[in-house]
Amino acid sequence: MDNQTQSAPAQPAQSAQPTEPSDQTDGASEFQMGSSLLEPEFDVNVKLNDLQQDPNNPLYSVKEFSDLNLPESLQKGISALSFTKPSKIQERALPLLLQNPPQNLIGQSQSGTGKTAAFVLNILSRLDLTLQQPQALVLAPSRELARQILGVVQVMGGFMEGLTTYQAVPDPSTRGQQVTGQVVVGTPGTVMDLARKKQLNTRGMKVLVLDEADNMLDQQGLGDQCKRVKGLLPKDVQTVLFSATFPEEVLGFADLFAPKANSITLERTNLTVKGIKQMYLDVSRDSDKYNALIKFYGLMTIASSIIFVRRRETADELSKRMESEGHHVVTLTGGLDGSERDSVIDRFREGKAKVLITTNVLARGIDVQTVTMVINYDIPDKPAPGRGYVPDAETFLHRVGRTGRFGKVGVALTLVHDKRSWEMFRSICQELSIDPTKLDTDDWDEVERVVKNIIKSGRNAKVGGTMFEG
Ligand SMILES: Nc1ncnc2c1ncn2[C@@H]1O[C@H](COP(=O)(O)OP(=O)(O)OP(=O)(O)O)[C@@H](O)[C@H]1O
Using a pLDDT cut of 90, give the percent of the chain over it: 70
- 18 assigned to some structural domain: no
**Is the predicted pLDDT of residue 182 greater than 80, yes or no?**
yes
- 27 assigned to some structural domain: no
Alpha-carbon span 211 to 193, nearest angstrom: 19
Does ligand 1 have an atom closer than 6 angstroms to the CB of 246? no
Domain shared by 231 and 145, yes or no: yes
Domain shared by 62 and 184, yes or no: yes
- 23 assigned to some structural domain: no
- 81 assigned to some structural domain: yes
111 C-alpha to ligand 1 centroid (Å)? 8
- 203 assigned to some structural domain: yes
pLDDT 10s digits, 143-157: 999 999 999 999 999
Q: What is the mean pLDDT of residues 443-469?
A: 66
Nearest ligand 1 atom, CA 244: 25
Nearest CA to ligand 1 atom 14: 112
Domain shared by 297 and 157, yes or no: no
Q: Please tell me the total count of domains within the chain.
A: 2
Does ligand 1 have an atom closer than 6 angstroms to the CB of 142? no
Task: Output the domain CATH number for residue 197.
Answer: 3.40.50.300
**Is the predicted pLDDT of residue 356 greater than 80, yes or no?**
yes
The answer for residues whose C-beta is within 8 angstroms of residue 55's C-beta and 6 or more apart is none
Alpha-carbon span 77 to 121, nearest angstrom: 9
Higher model confidence: residue 25 or residue 176?
176
Nearest ligand 1 atom, CA 82: 4
Domain shared by 310 and 262, yes or no: no
Domain shared by 133 and 172, yes or no: yes
Given pLDDT bands bounded at 50, 70 and 90, which one contains residue 468? very low
Domain's final residue, options 240, 267, 294: 267
**Is the predicted pLDDT of residue 222 greater than 90, yes or no?**
no
Measured at the CA of 363, the angle between CA 419 and CA 173, to 5 degrees, comes to 140
- Complex ipTM: 0.99
Instruction: Tell me what pLDDT residue 8 has.
Output: 45
Q: Are 142 and 362 in contact (CB under 8 A)?
A: yes
Domain shared by 314 and 370, yes or no: yes
Question: The pTM is what?
Answer: 0.90
Q: Are 364 and 142 in contact (CB under 8 A)?
A: yes
- 24 assigned to some structural domain: no
Output b/e per residue, 105-139; b: 16+ Cβ within 10 A.
bbbbbbbbbbbbbbbbbbbbbbbeeeeebbbbbbb
Alpha-carbon span 448 to 446, nearest angstrom: 5
What's the Rg (C-alpha) of the chain?
A: 21
Domain shared by 105 and 162, yes or no: yes
- 26 assigned to some structural domain: no
Q: Are 134 and 184 in contact (CB under 8 A)?
A: yes
End-to-end CA distance of the chain: 52
- 375 assigned to some structural domain: yes
Domain's final residue, options 246, 267, 288: 267
**Is the predicted pLDDT of residue 225 greater than 90, yes or no?**
yes
Q: Are 379 and 416 in contact (CB under 8 A)?
A: yes
Does ligand 1 have an atom closer than 6 angstroms to the CB of 190? no
Residue 90 belongs to domain spanning: 44-267
> Residue 458: how many CB atoms within 10 A of its CB?
21
Domain shared by 364 and 316, yes or no: yes
Domain's final residue, options 267, 284, 300: 267
The answer for residues whose C-beta is within 8 angstroms of residue 273's C-beta and 6 or more apart is 58, 110, 111, 112, 400, 401, 404
Domain shared by 290 and 333, yes or no: yes
Domain shared by 167 and 212, yes or no: yes
Domain shared by 239 and 297, yes or no: no
What dihedral angle (degrees, nearest 10) is formed by the CA atoms of 136, 139, 140, 145? 30
